[in-house]
Amino acid sequence: MREITDTVKQLIIINIIFFIGTELIGTQAKELLSLYYFESSKFRFWQPITHIFMHGGIMHIAFNMFALYSFGSMLESFWGGKKFLFFYISCGLGAAALHTGISYFEMQDMLKGVSDLNLSKETMNQILSLTVSDDFSYRPDLFVKELEPLMNSLGKTQLINDANFEILFETAKHSQIPMVGASGAIYGLLVAFAFMFPNAGLMLLFVPFPIKAKYFVPGLLVVDLFLGLKGNSIFGGGGTGIAHFAHIGGALIGFIMMWFWKKNSFNDRRWN
């Protein structure tokens, strides 16, 4: 059994504290620390960092922490704690950035369907913040109760048909689904591991033989991307249908950093 390194141990402890703490405190803590769409009223500037330590359930955190222990300890033993932590957080931020960017373009595409309403940016931000759920299920009836008086005040109630309502409701839902988890950072670690140990054998529970890391990790990304398009993923939740881009974002930043470090490993810009 591999010995756990100091920084990995501390990260796992922090993740567990966040998980237990938010479960005990409840919705308020989850809303403050999860990552919301940047135009949402629930967005806070610290969320791109804190979301990395948040998880949506016991299986979510268990998978991520096992992967952090399995791959992180070996990488930290080669890099040292500071370089490892820099890499880990950078991949987590890359995951948040790509997820947010894809969310933005997807929402803009959805809102083209209501362009005939000529809603101002301020009004759209109000609509995106209207109540869409009761914490247990999504509720169009709650949304319409708040949407109608807002549209009345603008004299646009008669313009809201079923199609427009559906688009506005789905867009509001989309903006209020938070992103949580260390999955993006974990995918960065997987890429780094494949860079450093390309011929190491890795296994999935449902594959009875080891696969070299240089094939395993790209294959995992392809499979996760496919499943993510259907609203699922291998590591970490992903029910939004776009959370897979967070995984790809973490992997992409991991690849760029590893390529840069490898390219400059023998010159005066080396990180010792």
Q: Bridge partners of 202?
A: 211
pLDDT at 231 exceeding the cut of 60 = no
Show the tokens assigned to 184: 């993006």
- In CATH terms, the fold of domain 6-104+178-263 is Rhomboid-like fold (1.20.1540)
Question: If you average pLDDT over residues 78-91, what whole number do you get?
Answer: 96
Percent of the chain with pLDDT over 70: 88
Which tops the pLDDT comparison, 105 or 92?
Answer: 92
Q: Where are the domains of the chain?
A: 6-104+178-263, 113-176
The mean pLDDT of the chain is 87
Which tops the pLDDT comparison, 201 or 36?
Answer: 36
CA distances (Å), origin 270, targets 73, 86, 252, 262: 22, 15, 21, 9
**Residue 267: its pLDDT value, please?**
53
In 10 A of CB 83, how many CB atoms? 16
Q: Tens digits of per-residue pLDDT, 49-58?
A: 999 999 989 9
Assessment of whether the complete model's pTM goes beyond 0.95: no
Q: Tens digits of per-residue pLDDT, 5-16?
A: 999 999 999 999
CA–CA distance, 225 with 243 (Å, rounded to integer): 9
Q: What are phi and psi of 138, to 5 degrees?
A: -80, 140
Contact assessment for residue 190 and residue 251, using Cβ atoms and an 8 Å cutoff: yes
Q: Which of 105-119, 129-143, 167-181, 231-245 is predicted with the least confidence, judged by mean pLDDT?
A: 231-245
Question: If you average pLDDT over residues 247-264, what whole number do you get?
Answer: 90
Largest CA distance in the chain: 68
**Residue 135: its pLDDT value, please?**
75
Show the tokens assigned to 216: 């395993």
pLDDT at 160 exceeding the cut of 90 = no
Contact assessment for residue 252 and residue 94, using Cβ atoms and an 8 Å cutoff: yes
**Residue 224: its pLDDT value, please?**
74
What amino acid occupies position 87? Answer: F
Question: If you average pLDDT over residues 230-238, what whole number do you get?
Answer: 49
Residue 243: band (very low, low, confident or very high) from pLDDT cuts 50, 70, 90 = low
pLDDT at 215 exceeding the cut of 50 = yes
pLDDT at 265 exceeding the cut of 70 = no
Count the residues in the chain. 272
pLDDT at 272 exceeding the cut of 80 = no
SS (H, E, C) the chain: CCCCCHHHHHHHHHHHHHHHHHHHHCHHHHHHHCECCCCCCCCCCCHHHHHHHCCCCHHHHHHHHHHHHHHHHHHHHHHCHHHHHHHHHHHHHHHHHHHHHHHHHHHHHHHHHHHHHCCCHHHHHHHHCCCCECCCCECHHHHHHHHHHHHHHHCCHHHCCHHHHHHHHHHHHHHHCCECCCHHHHHHHHHHHHHHCCCCEECCCCCCCCEEHHHHHHHHHHHHHHHHHCCCCCCCCCCCCCCHHHHHHHHHHHHHHHHHHHHCCCCCCCCC
CA distances (Å), origin 169, targets 36, 124, 129, 138, 143: 17, 11, 10, 10, 7
**Residue 238: its pLDDT value, please?**
41
Q: Which of 171-175, 183-187, 250-254 is predicted with the least confidence, judged by mean pLDDT?
A: 171-175
